Structures are given as C-alpha cells and as structure tokens.
Amino acid sequence: MKFGENCIPQVSIDCVVFGFHAHQLKVLLLRVRSMEYYALPGGFVGQEEDLDEAAQRVLQERTGLTELYLEQFYTFGQRNRGEIEMQQKLAEVNRLSSAEWLQKRFISVGYYALVDFSLVKATPDALSDSCDWYDINQLPLLMMDHHQMIQKALDTLRIMLEYKPIAFNLLPESFTIAELQRVYETILGKELIRTNFQRKILSLEILERIEKKYTGGAHKAPYVYRFKSTKKPHES
C-alpha cells in the first residue's frame, strides 16, 4: 500500500507491538528519518481492505510475521492530532506535495499485538531509519499522541489478561511455566506466588506438556509446555 494510493483519506492505523525479552516488556518503535521523534508502526487502509487486514499487513511488513495476536483497542480522533510537522514530513518524503489529504487531520485506529520477540525481523518503513524494541519503562520521545496510545494499549492489555490467558503469545511456541509467570509479573507489575500461579494456569487446561525438556541447566530440567490449540487464540 503506497501512501496516498487508493487508500482511505485521513484514516490511519497505529500498532502497539508488545514483545517480551530479558524480563522486560517492550514495544516496537520506528525512528522517523531526520526527526527527533519516534513513532509506532502504522499505515493506511486500502479502499478494498478490512481494518484488521490493514493492521495485519502493516505488522507483516514491520516484523515479518503473518500470524500474530492482534486486537483493536481504541480509535484516536482528537482535533489537534495533526501536528503539522509530521504531515509535512510525510508529504515531503513521498514527494506528494499534491496529496493534500496528507496535510489534514487523521483519525487513527489503534491495535495492539502480542508477538514472539525472537521471531521478529524488525524492519523500518520508508520513512524511518530504524525499527527497534524499547523497554516500556524507558520510552524515547514519541511523536503526537503515540505515548498516550501505548499507555491505553497497556491498560487494555492488563485488563484483558484477567479475562483470557493471552500472554502465551509473547513467548515462543514452547516455554516453561516459570517463563510464563515472569511475563505475567512483568505485565501486571507485581510478584506472584509460584505455586498458586502454577495451579491456576494448569487448571485452565490450555497447556500441554511437550516431550523435550529444557537443556543446559545444571540440575533438574523444567518441563516445557505449549499452548494446546493448534492455531493462535486469535479472536477466539
């Protein structure tokens, strides 16, 4: 999807991509070329494209992943969203001074994604010179309302985590219970009691134990689990 080409004017999507690494919750950010701001991965919506498809496509371009947990969380439409500088930059880079709709205010539909950090091939888009992970607690200066978007996405994620066990999506195909617990602790921002966590997770009966065990440890190897369903619990 090229900018301005056959897509819905004044509508964009922005994606908060969550990853987990080194005991930290991270988000994927782009550094907009020759600007001091960072930005969320985003894009536009084709005339013949579902909103969800557009988000999926953008994330495929930024991460290389086709299957990922993706959920719409809010639509941002404040009048002052424009911050002209950015729009001008966009128009400039695309040499589309004629595309006047790029100068206008945008309504942005926010999605959040949960991905396996280790599988992501972070790839900058045409406007950016880097695409990297940042600790959610140490975010750089973000453009427009992207900081607010991340906050809202995180709030939503915390609430959702109590409804359904979606945290698996942040881990590789197979993982140990201890790793899963660390994910929960990081997202919820509090320590959990190991034995109770184990009981609760296993009682959900959504995990199955895999044969191969963790290797390399000096002592007993932990069991390795994977999510029972063959496909990711997308829109389940």
Partner DNA sequence: CCAAAAGTGTTAATATTACACCCATGA
Partner DNA sequence: TCATGGGTGTAATATTAACACTTTTGG
What tokens appear for 49 in the block?
């494209």
Q: Give residues 153-172 in contact with its own copies (rule: CB under 8 A).
A: none
What tokens appear for 141 in the block?
């200066």
DSSP E strands, the chain: 7-21, 24-32, 38-39, 42-46, 69-76, 107-114, 128-135, 174-175, 207-210, 224-227
Q: Binder to DNA among 10, 176, 232, 234 (CB under 7 A)?
A: 176
Name the binder of 9 from DNA, its own copies, none, CB < 5-8 A by kind.
Answer: its own copies
Kindly state whether residue 78 participates in binding its own copies, applying the rule CB under 8 A: yes
Of 100-108, 115-123, 148-156, 194-202, the segment contacting its own copies by CB under 8 A is 100-108
Of 7-15, 29-37, 123-131, 222-230, the segment contacting its own copies by CB under 8 A is 7-15
Distance CA(160)–CA(166), nearest Å, equals 8
Kindly state whether residue 50 participates in binding its own copies, applying the rule CB under 8 A: yes
What tokens appear for 188 in the block?
């919820």
76/175 with CB nearer its own copies: 76
Task: Please report which helix (H) or strand (E) contains residue 170, including its range.
Answer: none
Residues binding DNA (CB under 7 A)? 176-178, 193-196, 198-199, 202, 209, 213-215, 217-223
